[in-house]
Amino acid sequence: MAAEMHAQGAVARRDLAVRAAVEQGLVGGADDAPPLVCLLDTAGIRASAAALTDAFAAALPPGTPVLHAFAVKACPLVPVLRLLADAGIGCEVAGPGELALARAAGVPAARTVLDSPAKTAAELREALALGVAVNADNLQELERLDALVGAGPARSPIGVRINPQTGAGAIGALSTATATSKFGIALRDPGARARLVRACLDRPWLTRLHVHSGSQGVPLPLIAEGVRDLHALAEEINAAAGRRQIDTLDIGGGLPVNFTSDEQDPTYAQYVGALREAVPALFDGGYGLVTEFGRSLLAKHGLVLARVEYTKSTGARPIALTHAGVQLATRTVYAPAQWPLRILPYDAKGAPKDGDPVAQDVAGPACFAGDLLATARELPPLAPGDLIGVPDTGAYFFTAHYGYNSLPRPAVHGFTVTPRAGVRFAEVRPAQSLAEIVAESGGPLRDALL
């Protein structure tokens, strides 16, 4: 019931924001109004952060060290990272760019974790100097860290990532715990476990273990199996060391998101429940915990709003040509079966549009035939000047722009609904200008090859 009420509140805020975006000129059918805008629900983001922290706090003994670190790749926007930091969430970064974004947002080094399968020596050196936690991906990286850490204690907490090889979910390209995954040190290959235990015992400064067994399309029991294997390895290392060398377990993230409705399913409480069933000792307070959720914190709170520019019929199929396509929903366009998105129809004033549904394609602006957000989707007939809303796009969609056809990045605004049902917008990222596109494409160097 609580989840249903939460979804209803999010829908009400969304519809208010759409109408207000039209009224305030952020998007619309008029020639001088932008044809495309992206919105983020700040109340929804805060609610997701609270649901995550509350789920773990309810399951752990008081005082257990826990860091919830947002996976910056899911939404690399500095104001969003700042909002999450204010809600008690740190940052998980996968390279120097994301680390720079986290620092620009004011996230302390002590609340930042660096993960990447290809860290350079310079990146490791910077992280260690700052005190950022580091998870090594492989044995060669551990050898590189040997030289950087030296004989003394490291300023940064340092861990090593394992691949539990527990198997793939429904989307192979996103499954990180397969037998041949590029991530981490394999746990089930012949002799690998013994080599890993030895590598840890030889490095007293190695105090963490890391796993990331979840992702979109991976069921909760399979995610929990990877965490269970992580905990068992930590116990084995500590027993061999004769002390509590491993004191923190980074259990990653990857909670799947429901893209078929407004419901948050599964929830963080369900995730914690699955972990408690699979590895109850994880919650006895013996280990500090780190999580690295991304998509599940942001996806439900993003909305693309795009103007319908033209409509036509081809082969008896109605087609709505809009300004939202592959540049914003790259995964959906290239893998529609794995990344389907809902389409919400609105009229030119931003009101939800009714009418007898008609099967129609919703197409984007890019110059290739596959640029489709939806095919034969049953919607009220769309007309020029109408708007389409594309929900659940707050992570990995419009936050990671794809520059096909040099289509400009649209503006992103966060919105807050006031107690009197007014809507306040705050610019998160300005729309990209044509001059900026030219500059990024070598405009100032136009004679460089002559």
Separation of first and last alpha carbons in the chain: 67
- Tokens standing for residue 435: 């001059």
- The three-class DSSP label of residue 38 is strand
What are the distances in angstroms from CA 449 to CA 179, 326, 406, 438? Answer: 46, 31, 21, 16
Catalytic positions are 367
**Cα dihedral 167, 187, 121, 101 sign:** positive
- The three-class DSSP label of residue 126 is helix
Q: Is 106 left (phi over 0), alpha (psi -120 to 50) or beta?
A: left
Please give the Cα distance from 234 to 245 (Å, whole number).
9
DSSP-derived pairing of the beta strands 344-346 and 90-93: unpaired
Helix 220-241, helix 192-201: angle, nearest 10: 50
- Residue 284 near residue 324 (C-beta atoms within 8 A): no
Which residues does 126 contact at the CB level (< 8 Å), separation at least 6? 96, 99, 132
**Cα dihedral 288, 292, 297, 298 sign:** positive
**Radius of gyration, CA atoms only, the chain:** 23
The residue type found at 268 is: Y
- Residue 331 near residue 311 (C-beta atoms within 8 A): no
Q: What are phi and psi of 188, to 5 degrees?
A: -110, 0
Please give the Cα distance from 393 to 400 (Å, whole number).
10
- Residue 121 near residue 100 (C-beta atoms within 8 A): no
